[in-house]
């Protein structure tokens, strides 16, 4: 009994500093932001209590934030239906053992470790209207009619920010899924092969079900990353042209540090936190059953 209590005290001693730090730098600031979101305040002057007016304005009044929210949902959908499937396929190929496996694993991960500012500058050179690679290729193959100022066009600018956002983090999800696939015992595949299972059946009935905890993590990272995405869009367009590429975080930044609407910006920050929490909870619920079935196997 004394030994058990000693172990519990040891756990508390090691965990408590982390809990305290997390509370100070994450939990308390969230509550402070939620409180400031109840006021009209420019950050330095007197605070005027507005109740939930700032939060109501987010959804029902502000067209810029509404557009930013739609953009974040489009980015999230692109991450789920384009980024993750590509990462899964490449991870599956690598995990089956290919020539130069370690080389490709490293190459795919390089964009992840690069600064988003570097990625932004790289893709700005590609989409540049005058000397960009994309327009140069279109002119070279006789499709000069399709060449255009991609970053200055409201109908194409956001797509031009989604592409590098997806490309940058594919390597991260490849590595996560690759590690999960390597952790699956080869005996399971051997038994399935003896029973006459095809490659497709092995993937759909063994790999994907047993990989569901890893897929869940990738989905959470992908969704929350899309909802709080900031630096790449900020570096490429700063929300322009005409707010067509705004995301909730870029609108929040503009209100906090440019427009002097500190209370409204704080309300937007809280909205982003709640959006990420809700998305995480939904994914947890959706994967609860599949994880239970995978653990039973």
- CA dist list (Å): 249 to 35, 130, 166, 235: 19, 30, 18, 13
Residue 1 falls within a domain, yes or no?
no
Cα–Cα distance measured from residue 274 to residue 104, given in angstroms and rounded to the nearest whole number: 37
Tokens of 47: 């605070």
Note the pLDDT tens digit of each residue in 29-66.
Answer: 999 999 999 999 887 888 899 888 998 888 888 899 99
Dist CA 14 CA 30 (whole Å): 25
Total domains present in the chain:
1
What pLDDT was estimated at residue 214?
93
- Residue 30, domain member (yes or no): no
User: What is the per-residue burial (b if ≥16 Cβ within 10 Å, else e) of 103-120?
Assistant: eebeebeebeeeebeebb
- CATH number of the domain within which 51 lies: 1.10.3720.10
Continuous segment of H or E residues that includes residue 233: helix 231-236
* Residue 219 domain boundaries: 37-124+161-296
On the question of pLDDT at 120 being above 70, the answer is yes
How high is the pLDDT of residue 294? 54
Q: From CA 63, how far away is CA 69, in angstroms rounded?
A: 10
Question: How many residues would you count in the chain?
Answer: 297
DSSP for 6-44, written as a single string = HHHHHHHHHHHHHHHHHIIIIIHHHHHHHHHTTEE--SS
**234 assigned to some structural domain:** yes
Beta-bridge partner residues of 48: 40
Give the pTM. 0.90
**By C-alpha distance, which of 206, 168, 221 is closest to 92?**
206
pLDDT digits (tens, 9 = 90+) for 138-175: 999 988 899 999 999 999 999 999 999 999 999 999 99
Q: Distance between terminal CA atoms of the chain?
A: 35
**203-215 tens-digit pLDDT:** 888 899 899 999 9
Does residue 156 lie within any of the structural domains?
A: no
Mean pLDDT in the chain?
Answer: 90
Percentage above 70 pLDDT, the chain: 95
Q: What mean pLDDT is predicted for residues 63-73?
A: 94
Which range among 118-127, 190-199, 225-234, 247-256 shows the weakest confidence by mean pLDDT? 190-199
Q: What was the pLDDT predicted at 101? A: 87
Write the DSSP string, 35-77.
HHTTEE--SSS--EE-TTHHHHHHHHT-HHHHHHHHHHHHHHH
DSSP 267: H
């Amino acid at each position: 009994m004394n030994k058990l209590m000693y172990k519990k005290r040891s756990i508390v001693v090691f965990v408590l500093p982390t809990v305290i730090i997390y509370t100070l730098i994450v939990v308390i600031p969230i509550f402070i932001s939620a409180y400031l979101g109840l006021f009209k305040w420019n950050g330095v002057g007197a605070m005027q209590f507005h109740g939930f007016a700032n939060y109501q304005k987010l959804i029902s009044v502000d067209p810029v934030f509404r557009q930013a929210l739609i953009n974040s949902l489009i980015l999230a959908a692109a991450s789920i239906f384009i980024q993750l499937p590509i990462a899964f396929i490449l991870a599956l190929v690598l995990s089956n053992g290919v020539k130069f496996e370690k080389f490709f694993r490293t190459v795919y991960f390089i964009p992840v470790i690069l600064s988003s500012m570097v990625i932004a500058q790289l893709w700005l050179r590609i989409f540049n209207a005058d000397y960009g690679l994309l327009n140069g290729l279109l002119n070279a193959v006789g499709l000069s009619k399709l060449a255009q100022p991609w970053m200055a066009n409201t109908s194409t600018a956001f797509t031009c920010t989604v592409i590098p956002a997806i490309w940058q983090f594919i390597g991260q999800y490849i590595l996560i899924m690759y590690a999960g696939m390597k952790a699956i015992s080869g005996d399971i595949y051997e038994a399935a092969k003896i029973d006459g299972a095809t490659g497709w059946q092995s993937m759909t009935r063994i790999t994907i079900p047993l990989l569901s905890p890893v897929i869940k993590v990738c989905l959470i990272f992908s969704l929350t990353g899309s909802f709080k995405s900031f630096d790449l869009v900020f570096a490429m367009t700063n929300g322009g042209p005409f707010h067509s590429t705004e995301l909730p975080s870029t609108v929040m930044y503009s209100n906090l540090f440019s427009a002097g609407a500190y209370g409204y910006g704080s309300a937007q920050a809280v909205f982003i936190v709640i959006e990420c929490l809700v998305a995480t909870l939904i994914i947890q619920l959706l994967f609860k059953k599949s994880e239970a079935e995978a653990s039973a196997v």
